[in-house]
Amino acid sequence: MMVSRSGRAEAPPDTPPATGARRRPDPLRLAAGVLVLILLAAGASTDRFLTLDNARAILASTAFVGITAIGATLVMIAGSAVSLAVSQTATVVAMIFLATQPLGLGTSLLLALLCGVTVTAVQGAVIGYWAANPIVLTIAAGFATGGVATWISDGTTVSAEVPRYDVLNSTPLGLPLAVYVLLAVTALAQWTLRRTTAGRQMYLVGENRAAAHAAGLPVGRVTVVAWAFFGACIGLTGVFLASFNTGANSALGGTLTLDAIAAVLAGGTAIAGGRGSALRTLGGALLISIISDVLLLRGYSTGIQILVKGLLVLAVVLTVHLRSVRGRR
Amino acid sequence: MTARVGVEGLARSFAGVPAVRDLSFTVGAGEIHALCGHNGAGKSTVVKMLSGQIPPDQGRISVDGEPAELRSRRAAQRLGIALVDQELSVVPALTVLDNLLLGDIDAPMLNRRRAAVARCRAVLDEIGLERIDPDRPLSSLSIGERQLVEIARALSQKARLVILDEPTATLSDVESDLVFAAIRRVAARGCAVLYVSHRLAEVLDLCDTVTVLRDGRRIATTPAGELTVGTLIEQMLGEAPHRLAATRPPDPDLGHALRIDHLHVPGRLADFTLTAQAGRIYALAGQLGSGASDVLRALAGLHPQATGSVELHDRALPLRNPVGAARAGVAFVSNDRKSEGLFLDKTVAWNLVATRLPSLGRAGVIRAGRERRAARSLAERSGLAEHRLDDPVLTLSGGNQQKVFVGRCLGRDDVHALLLDEPTRGVDIGGRAAIHRLLRSAADAGLVVLFASTELEELLELGDVIVTLRDGRTVGRYDGDADGATLMRDMTHGVNAT
């Protein structure tokens, strides 16, 4: 039903967008299809790719970055783009986790996660209530957090004298525990986004913050919820990193910040907010792991792996952009 | 007086609806010529055609006797036609000098700075901006001063015709006086001036000749000296519209649901007071800058500097806090549907329920069935086709988008006041009537409905009580008995109308 718009004299009618555009194939689906085909071909022709051990390795390598990336998805959907303080936050969480091991696993876990949630949610509050620029704010927060990490560790490696974290390194049914946590976090995030008021409001705030503000939606609170969830995810990653490495120095976080962003973007979530999903991010994280794995098995250097990762993210971001531009016509 | 600019047989329509028909007039060198008309009379279309933004369907435009082909704004500029727009087109981040050079087609590629500064100084002095240093960033200037810089830019481009489209709508009196002085100086130099304004007193004071448009036609061109505000309004309205629809009389049984007491927004609204009953529609009549839309924005919590006391159903309404206002039962429909209203990428269903999510489930979990039912019943209520519920709002026509926007506020137990800023902007005739019916039924359901509009028909058709505003002050209040001419006089002329 396209109402013909006669329009009043002084307002030239804005042309209703053509509905025909939606019948053309969706470039994102098309690109995903092509990519899966290429991967299947490459995988089938690569020695040792189609083995159970390799599948396990892929899942295991997805888990750490994946958990953080799921949290980053909520923040990106809610319109606060990205955090550049992820590695540093994970490092501090890892150090607190290891340092509090004598208190028992439960207590140390709780303290570590609480730290991740608090540090990140505070940044979210500044962004949500006072409309701070997330890039600038998290660069500053990243330096501050990194500084604290170096300060408490005094530049050395923190480790636990009586480790209680062995259970985190266990591999029930042959898969690392982190993989199960990743799946659980993904499911929780997906449910939050789709089925809860807060999740729905994240999409709305992310798409049009001014409209959400004028409608009286709780922009600040929604932003804080997204960032708090993100903080919990970063905390989980930090705890797993600490257990896996049995120690934490100020470089523990490594490239986690950018890896997580890459996974979210590769999943096709829009950096400008308002669109995306946790399942997509899981797909993006898996995709990056699979491609790295194929390249690794085929004997390409780490440099090539990183380069390909960059190209992949670029390709997906371009596709998403083209799609949204076309959608607006 | 020789004709600087002549217009003959000009016509233009949009989607088959004529906006300007067979229009002819001339503006002589040194003449200040006003173009007046009610909203929709075709003024903006004339301005757009003269400034090269849209081509006419028929007719000729001539400059100094030569036929002019105005294919673009640049082409118009080359012929010496400068436009000072309603919206400022100066760049706040640049300096005054940079802004003056901006868009100057004569500016040499390699600028000799000293010459540029000297020329800029001369232009600023001429317009009465002696105290402004060309190197000051524009952002440090007041809005009025920026407007003057924009006029100065038009002057520096050796304009033969300067078109001013509502230049004083957002200015204070002092700033307006500066603008008028500048315009007089421009005219004295032999430039033709076309002045478009709603402010009739201003028009009569400033201009030599007044051309009045109605429904795209020229009604009259009269020397300003022979006109009064009254005769001008008569020309603009023709047979003045009277109330068309039956309005709801005051009901002594109903208490006052909304009490606005001394609402004040610095620089925009002074001391606004109104008490409103549930079930009636209150119209705020005022042009751009009158404060009418600021009343609504302040009640919705969107004016961080608003002060005053407002009670809704005997509970204090928090000002300056949009979340608090929404919680207290205020639903606000902004005049900017695209950037401050709907979530365009999202579906109709999502938009309809966007502000009532907590009511669709329990403990923050949305129930899919309840959401679907709510969206369906709202679509039906607002006159939207059910099969469009899953389409992005972007794909809807302006009228249907507005129905989504209004529909979003309906059928909620927790909404007590519905505030709408220009409820039918950019909406076709059919959609307009549908939205008016929606508002009436919302009032009948027991809401206080308060809207701001600049359109007489809308104000008369919908408003049970009409409050006129001008320059941030209340001019008049009409309960039931109002006619178009009175409203127009209030809106354009203000308190001192005679």
B173-197 pLDDT, tens digit each: 777 788 888 888 888 888 899 999 8
In chain B, domain spans: 3-237, 256-493
Largest Cα span, chain B: 77
Residues listed for chain A? 329
Q: Is B252 helix (H, G, I), strand (E, B) or coil?
A: coil
Task: Give the model's pLDDT for residue B492.
Answer: 81
Task: Give the model's pLDDT for residue A12.
Answer: 37
Instruction: Determine, for residues B40 and A275 on separate chains, whether the beta-carbon distance falls below 8 Å.
Output: no
Q: How far is CA B357 from CA A266, B353, B406, B458, in A?
A: 31, 6, 16, 32
Superfamily name and number for B3-237: P-loop containing nucleotide triphosphate hydrolases (3.40.50.300)
B137 in contact with chain A, both atoms CB, cutoff 8 A? no
Q: Which of A15, A188, A208 to mutate to test the interface with B (most CBs of B within 10 A)?
A: A208
Alpha-carbon radius of gyration of chain A: 22
Q: Is B376 helix (H, G, I), strand (E, B) or coil?
A: helix
Strand partners, B275: B259
A204 in contact with chain B, both atoms CB, cutoff 8 A? yes
Instruction: Determine, for residues B398 and A204 on separate chains, whether the beta-carbon distance falls below 8 Å.
Output: no
Which tokens is B99 given? 């802004």
Q: Is B31 helix (H, G, I), strand (E, B) or coil?
A: coil
Which tokens is B403 given? 């129905």
Instruction: Tell me how close the Cα of A300 comes to any Cα of chain B, in angstroms.
Output: 42
Indicate if B256-493 has the same CATH topology as B3-237: yes
CB half-sphere exposure, A6, CA atoms < 13 A: 8
Task: Give the model's pLDDT for residue B263.
Answer: 95
Task: Give the model's pLDDT for residue B493.
Answer: 73
Instruction: Determine, for residues B343 and A11 on separate chains, whether the beta-carbon distance falls below 8 Å.
Output: no
Q: Which of A200, A207, A223 to mutate to test the interface with B (most CBs of B within 10 A)?
A: A200
Task: Give the model's pLDDT for residue A9.
Answer: 37
Give me the numbers of helices (H) and strands (E) for chain B, helices first please.
17, 22
pLDDT over threshold 90, residue B332? yes
Tell me the DSSP string of A256-313.
Answer: HHHHHHHHHHHTT--TTSS---HHHHHHHHHHHHHHHHHHHHTT--HHHHHHHHHHHH
Q: Summarize pLDDT for B25-74 with one digit per residue, the tens.
A: 999 998 999 998 877 788 888 998 998 888 899 999 998 888 888 888 88
For A197, which of B325, B358, B431 is closest by C-beta distance?
B358
For A1, which of B326, B368, B385 is closest by C-beta distance?
B385
Task: Give the model's pLDDT for residue A38.
Answer: 81
For B44, which of A10, A14, A274 is closest by C-beta distance?
A10
Instruction: Determine, for residues B332 and A216 on separate chains, whether the beta-carbon distance falls below 8 Å.
Output: yes
Amino acid at site B212: V
pLDDT over threshold 70, residue B498? no
Neighbours of B126 (CB within 10 A): 16
Largest Cα span, chain A: 80
In angstroms, how far is the first alpha carbon of chain B from the final one?
A: 33
Distance CA B167, CA B184 (A): 14
Stretch (H or E) spanning B433 = helix B429-444
Task: Give the model's pLDDT for residue A257.
Answer: 92
Q: Over chain B, what is the mean pLDDT?
A: 85
- Is the pTM above the cut of 0.90? no
Note whether B248 and B477 are within 8 A (CB): no
Neighbours of B215 (CB within 10 A): 16
Distance CA B168, CA B155 (A): 18
Pairing of strands B269-277, B256-265: antiparallel
For A198, which of B322, B364, B429 is closest by C-beta distance?
B364
Q: Between B111 and B476, where is the model more confident?
A: B476
Q: How far is CA B253 from CA B344, B352, B446, in A?
A: 42, 33, 13
Instruction: Tell me how close the Cα of A207 comes to any Cα of chain B, in angstroms.
Output: 7
Using a CB-CB cut-off of 8 Å, the residues of chain B touching A6 are 15-17, 428-430
Using a CB-CB cut-off of 8 Å, the residues of chain A touching B298 are none
Tell me the DSSP string of B254-294.
Answer: S-EEEEEEEEEETTTEEEEEEEEETT-EEEEE--TTSSHHH
Q: Which of B50, B129, B40 is CA-nearest to residue B85? A: B50
Q: Which of B482, B476, B425 is CA-nearest to residue B451? A: B425
Instruction: Tell me how close the Cα of A321 comes to any Cα of chain B, in angstroms.
Output: 14
Which of B4-13, B217-226, B241-250 has the least mean pLDDT? B241-250
Task: Give the model's pLDDT for residue B86.
Answer: 63
Q: Summarize pLDDT for B436-472 with one digit per residue, the tens.
A: 999 999 999 889 999 999 888 889 889 999 999 988 8
Using a CB-CB cut-off of 8 Å, the residues of chain A touching B342 are 208, 211
Task: Give the model's pLDDT for residue B106.
Answer: 59
A129 in contact with chain B, both atoms CB, cutoff 8 A? no
Strand partners, B211: B35, B221
Using a CB-CB cut-off of 8 Å, the residues of chain B touching A19 are 395
Pairing of strands B217-223, B281-285: unpaired
Alpha-helical segments (H) within B102-140: 113-126
Share of chain B above pLDDT 70, in %: 91
Q: Angle A304-A307-A311 (CA atoms, 0-180°, nearest 5)?
A: 135
- φ/ψ region of B22 (left if φ > 0, alpha if ψ in -120 to 50, else beta) reads left
Nearest CA in chain B to A204: B343
Instruction: Determine, for residues A8 and B340 on separate chains, whether the beta-carbon distance falls below 8 Å.
Output: no
Pairing of strands B307-312, B256-265: antiparallel
Amino acid at site B87: E
Instruction: Determine, for residues B42 and A10 on separate chains, whether the beta-carbon distance falls below 8 Å.
Output: yes
Question: What parts of chain A have a pLDDT lower than 50?
Answer: 1-23, 328-329
pLDDT over threshold 60, residue B495? no
Distance CA B118, CA B212 (A): 41
Ranked by mean pLDDT, which of A126-130, B102-106, B488-492 comes out on top? A126-130
Neighbours of B242 (CB within 10 A): 11
Q: Summarize pLDDT for B374-418 with one digit per residue, the tens.
A: 999 999 999 898 889 999 998 888 888 999 999 999 988 889 999
pLDDT over threshold 80, residue B107? no
Distance CA A197, CA B336 (A): 25
Residue entry with tokens 């509050």: A125
Q: Which of A222, A254, A221 is CA-nearest to residue A237? A: A254
Nearest CA in chain B to A219: B323
CATH 1.10.3470 fits A54-328, yes or no: yes
Residue entry with tokens 């620089």: B267
Please provide the CATH number assigned to the domain covering B256-493: 3.40.50.300
Instruction: Tell me how close the Cα of B436 comes to any Cα of chain A, in angstroms.
Output: 16
Q: Is A118 helix (H, G, I), strand (E, B) or coil?
A: helix
- This model of the complex carries an ipTM of 0.84
Residue entry with tokens 């596709």: A319
Q: How many CB pairs under 8 A join A and B?
A: 149
Note whether A39 and A31 are within 8 A (CB): no
Q: Which residues in chain A (166-195) have CB-CB distances under 8 A to chain B?
A: 195
Q: Over chain A, what is the mean pLDDT?
A: 86
Share of chain B above pLDDT 90, in %: 37
Using a CB-CB cut-off of 8 Å, the residues of chain B touching A328 are 394
Task: Give the model's pLDDT for residue B195.
Answer: 93
Distance CA B340, CA B319 (A): 19
Instruction: Determine, for residues B358 and A327 on separate chains, whether the beta-carbon distance falls below 8 Å.
Output: no
Task: Give the model's pLDDT for residue A13.
Answer: 38
Nearest CA in chain B to A5: B428
Distance CA B300, CA B325 (A): 6
Q: Which of A128, A207, A80, A224 is CA-nearest to residue B341? A: A207
Instruction: Determine, for residues A10 and B365 on separate chains, whether the beta-carbon distance falls below 8 Å.
Output: no
Residues listed for chain B? 498
Alpha-carbon radius of gyration of chain B: 25
Using a CB-CB cut-off of 8 Å, the residues of chain B touching A275 are 345
Phi then psi for A63, rounded to 5 degrees?
-60, -50
